[in-house]
Structure 1
């Protein structure tokens, strides 16, 4: 093709990784993000070899190194561990996916830091405050349609716009959002030396789940970067708009997948941060002293409600000039920490497919169809397994082959 332009709806992790990869491949693109900027939404993200290697493929060398240096220090055990409230180990299991080894394995990142790294250098193609509400597509091109009545023309539209994607709703109207009924809250506690001294050792493994045995759980993840973020940015991407973040412990609390709410469950959507903090202190009463201290240290300004929803698994569809990635097509519960990694995997795979088309190695629809077929084969099994109510409470790692 003499010219090739990709229009990406959504500036989350998957959409930005796709834009970085396309730029690296010499393919023109534009990203349209409905938010006014990169907002705070969630905290720590588990990273595995699939997501990390996708970043290696798509990012310029300095930004990939910045991702590694601002990732969490390598934990004592790169495992998911379930504990009771006295910090006694119930089971451990490896994280899903291929082995994640090496001198600096992929560990965990701060979500906003990763998005800011991914946005670095994209100022000329990243457009905030632009909300796509649909698309038009034909044999010669495709264009997103925006809520202000405008549109933008190009060759391919990519819906990277999350679980409530208007692009998916038009392309695959029979795929519905499923509400798990899980309600809860996110928060962080600053990771100080004195807090680290009293926390149970297992909390410094890859990821910890504390079960109360009553249908509610705490999920706990340490974020302690390999290098101070401001120092790494000054060295590797001076002048980049990447905020400094101090080490912290992410603490989530809420109802378990498939469990009925307990009578004393707080109203996560309407209670104040102070009320939610008091409620989770009550929930941790009588627990291991290090767990009690961790909950006491939560910064109330970081408390935010959460609701877990996921998508139905889509039947195969006919390829077109409109395609999807990440939560727009396979939003899943966080049971295996695979959502962000799957979105990054999609981005790298779609870069390869679109590069084949742009270079004339494959017809465009054949390239897009191949990307979609492999995504269904590789990601949909994880999606199904993540929605299993037993996923959090089992040390079984599902067989995802085929």
Structure 2
């Protein structure tokens, strides 16, 4: 199929990875991204071998190497650790995912940096500021409608447009978005030598959660790149638009409904950054001095609120020229750090499937059906487990979830 063309709604982690994989396979695609540019795009992402192996498969060698070099240095222990508010370790559990690389393990990335790396070489493929609003599909093609009134035609449409996907809403309107009621505030504190000296050692594990007696909950993630981002980018992708990023700690205040701390929390989206910072400082009053100092040092310009939402697993749907990946079909709470990794896993699997169809090796619809069935089998158990109220318990890990060793 020399004219085979894939339309991708959404230029996030999954959409860009898919575009890179298709480009590597010699398949034309166009990515339509609503945002005017890469944007802030959140902060630190936990990476496991599922996501890292997908990047290895989809990215050209120099960009995969840039991803590795700008990933976090290997943590003290590659586990999820739970502390009390005084920094005492209560327990730990392994991360989920296939076995990690023993030499240069997949660890964590800065989300914006990863998206900028994945955008290299796609400058003529990604259409920023263009929003897909709907589609019509028949036996031969799929046509998308854009917010500016124009349309585009392709052979396949991939919904990579996140939990609020307009494509999923049209294709699978019965799939609900579930608001868990939990709220959060993400922020960054620069990781300086003097801050590092007062933090509990456990903060250098893979991912850390600390809970207070009133129900306040913080999660932490260290980001210390293996190589300075600007240096690695200049060496491996000279001229690419990749911002320098220094070491930091991501701190997320989780506000759980029904707890004393979660009672009568103001509207986070109407509050100023200073008010949000004051709320974060109040949450760690009486905590371990290092954990409290970390919150004091937060850069208030990096604070943003978030609501924790998820999707219900969808029942199998009729196969067609429209398919989905990532948060558009299995948005999940961050309990296992699997959301981005699952999206990357989807992208690599779908790029592989579409390449086989485009090169005439297999018919298109059966290969899409196989991709969707395998995605439901592999990712939906993680979605279900992450939505379980016990998901943040250190002793809870379903038997059907693989763990990295």
Report the TM-score range of the alignment, normalised by the length of the smaller protein.
Answer: over 0.9
Where does residue 255 of structure 1 map in the other structure?
255
Where does residue 194 of structure 2 map in the other structure?
194
1:282 to partner: Cα distance: 1.5
1:264 to partner: Cα distance: 5.8
Task: State how 1:2-401 maps to structure 2 within 5 Å.
Answer: 2-256=2-256, 262-263=262-263, 265-400=265-400
Gapped regions of structure 1 (runs ≥ 5): none
Instruction: Call closer, same or farther: CA 1:257–1:316 in 2, change over 3 Å.
Output: farther
| d(CA) in 2 for partners of 1:397, 1:196 | 31
Q: Contact conserved, 2:220 with 2:250, CA < 8 A, in 1?
A: yes
Deviates more, 1:233-242 or 1:386-395: 386-395
Instruction: Call closer, same or farther: CA 1:401–1:208 in 2, change over 3 Å.
Output: closer
Instruction: Call closer, same or farther: CA 1:167–1:264 in 2, change over 3 Å.
Output: closer
Deviates more, 1:280-289 or 1:11-20: 280-289
Instruction: Call closer, same or farther: CA 1:140–1:348 in 2, change over 3 Å.
Output: same
Q: Any idea what the Cα deviations from partners look like across 1:196-249, whole Å, max 9, x if unmatched? A: 111100000000000114333101000000000000000000000000011100
| d(CA) in 2 for partners of 1:264, 1:223 | 33
Instruction: Call closer, same or farther: CA 1:275–1:115 in 2, change over 3 Å.
Output: same
Structure 1 runs, 4 residues or longer, greater than 3 Å off: 256-261, 264-267
Q: RMSD value over aligned CA atoms?
A: 1.4
Deviates more, 1:258-267 or 1:182-191: 258-267
Instruction: Call closer, same or farther: CA 1:335–1:260 in 2, change over 3 Å.
Output: farther
Q: Secondary structure at the match of 2:187?
A: strand
Give TM-score scaled by structure 1 length: 0.97
